[in-house]
Copies of this chain bind each other. A is one copy, B any other.
Amino acid sequence: MFSKAAEYGIRAVIYVWGQSNKGLKMGVKDICKEIDAPEFFTAKVLQSLARLNIISSAKGPNGGFYIDEEQEEIKLIDLVVAIDGDGIFRGCALGLKQCSETNPCPIHKDFKAIRDDLTHLLQTRTIRELAQDVDKGLATLVR
């Protein structure tokens, strides 16, 4: 479904959000230890997210990644598109290049419905909600 980069990225951002809410900035090493993800690979994902202004970063001692006030309402779809692009929403399930409403593959309509549900889900759910679930112990990011 998602790429490894997106999986790590989403988990990392959820964790960072939670810590940032407590006023903490988190280094890559700590983040990856917490969510059990490869360090250097995940670092690149977070850095590209910071470059896109989806999350923030600070260098130097007591630096790290954090969530700015203006970034508090990040939605899942923002992360997915930033990391994996919009291929999940565009491609044909059977790999046809010219698959569309007017020239559909045999399962075009069925998959459009499922894909619309997925899109709606990603557009609706915020990182805030997910981080709060983790904070309440209703969900986990590791193991």
Contact = CB atoms under 8 A, between A and B. Distances in A.
Interface size class on chain A is 35 or more
A93 to B, nearest CB: 6
Contacts of A140: 96, 103-105
Contact of A139 (B1, B104, B113): B104
A4 to B, nearest CB: 7
| This chain: copies in complex | 2
Interface in A103-143: 103-108, 110-111, 113-114, 117-118, 121, 125, 129-131, 133-134, 138-143
A26 interface: no
Given A98-B143, A143-B98, A1 B106 contact: no
Nearest to A108: B139
Given A117-B114, A118-B114, A107 B95 contact: no
Interface of A: 1-2, 4, 7-8, 10-11, 14, 76, 88, 91, 93-98, 103-108, 110-111, 113-114, 117-118, 121, 125, 129-131, 133-134, 138-143
